[in-house]
Amino acid sequence: MQQSIVKLLLFYGMAVFYGILVVFNLFIRMIKNPLKAIQSKERNIPPKCLSHPEVGTHSYITVNSVKIHYVEAGDRSKPMMLFVHGFPEFWYSWRHQIKEFSKDYWCVALDMKGYGDSDKPKGTTPYGLLTLVEDLRQFIEKIDHNGCILVGHDWGGAVCWVLLDNYPHLVDKYIIMNAPHYKVYGKLYATNDTQRRMAWYVNFFQLPYLPELSLRFGDFEFFDTLFRQFGTPEDVEAYKYTFSQPGALTSPLNYYRNIPFNKIEKQPVLNDSHPQGLFLFGSDDMYIVKDSVQMTATVVPNLTTKLVDNVGHFIHQEIPNEVNEIMRTFLKE
């Protein structure tokens, strides 16, 4: 008990430390360019790319007492391919995969709870990992499809891993990108100094208000930094519009704020009934060490791993054509 308290104090102590560094950085940037620091564009009308017919039609469903928004494309009679996004993304991050795979699958990309047009419950409790898994389980069962191809990235991948361990019968095959198995990530964070440094933002996001302020700084230039190299100006504007809406930053950050309270107990032993999966990882990920690939392969059966060089964390957006081809090859096996 005492050891747990010490770990928690150290965890929040690092949050304060990184908060001080961020405040100093924001102050320097404000001094250099005060006009840019305070600028903020009002966004009331969504960019046209979010409603373009080729990325699908918009629908809603209630699961676990929460309204979930999703976009679907393709023939409902075909196998379902379900896309689960990470942070700081929403359904639109799968646009390249929806366009490609809707020819052969019924593609469904949801806004996870707290994101986009889905409900945004207040507080951190609704964003516990097991609660998010229950959201996803009910979504799959209510959509009434016999099994699915499950595709997850980042936080979406973390949720998918727990779903797979508990409800493998809901999934035919799966593809997870740049999100190691939760047992692997927990071990890396506890023992690997490089991983702890790379995950500095996990500590920082524990703070109230300041993370939201830093992400809004300079009219959400955070999204310019993340996505401008592999997205069009309209793509970047889609992110800025989505995350500028009321509560649209706080709810996703609450995923992180609930991390110290996540408890995953009584996990079933993984066995040969675990569906066949692919773990795809961009080697230049700035947030997760690539050692996580081999480590995940040792704890998950029936898993194929592929490390792609010279690409980062958002692999499905950075090199969509190559990723789509890798996915097709795996699904044909």
The position carrying tokens 């300079």 is 218
Tell me how far apart the alpha carbons of residues 221 and 227 are, in angstroms, rounded to a whole number: 10
Q: Which residues lie closer than 8 Å to 52 by C-beta, 6 or more apart?
A: none
| Nearest Cα residue to 98 out of 113, 82, 79 | 82
Q: Report whether 316 contacts 231 (CB < 8 A).
A: no
58 φψ region: left (φ > 0), alpha (ψ -120 to 50), beta (else): beta
**313 a catalytic residue:** yes
Write the DSSP symbol of residue 288: S
63 forms beta bridges with: 66
Which listed residue (153, 181, 313, 316) is catalytic?
A: 313
Please measure the distance between the N-terminal and C-terminal CA atoms of the chain and give it in whole angstroms.
Answer: 48
The position carrying tokens 């023939």 is 75
For residue 196 the two structure tokens come to 């702890």
DSSP letters spanning 159-228: HHHHHHHH-GGG-SEEEEES---HHHHHHHHHH-HHHHHHTHHHHHTTSSSHHHHHHHHHHHHHHHHHHT
Which listed residue (119, 154, 172, 285) is catalytic?
A: 154
Which listed residue (182, 235, 256, 285) is catalytic?
A: 256
Q: Residue 196, Cα to own-chain centre: how many angstroms?
A: 19
Q: What three-state secondary structure class fits 123?
A: coil
Catalytic residue annotation: 154, 256, 313
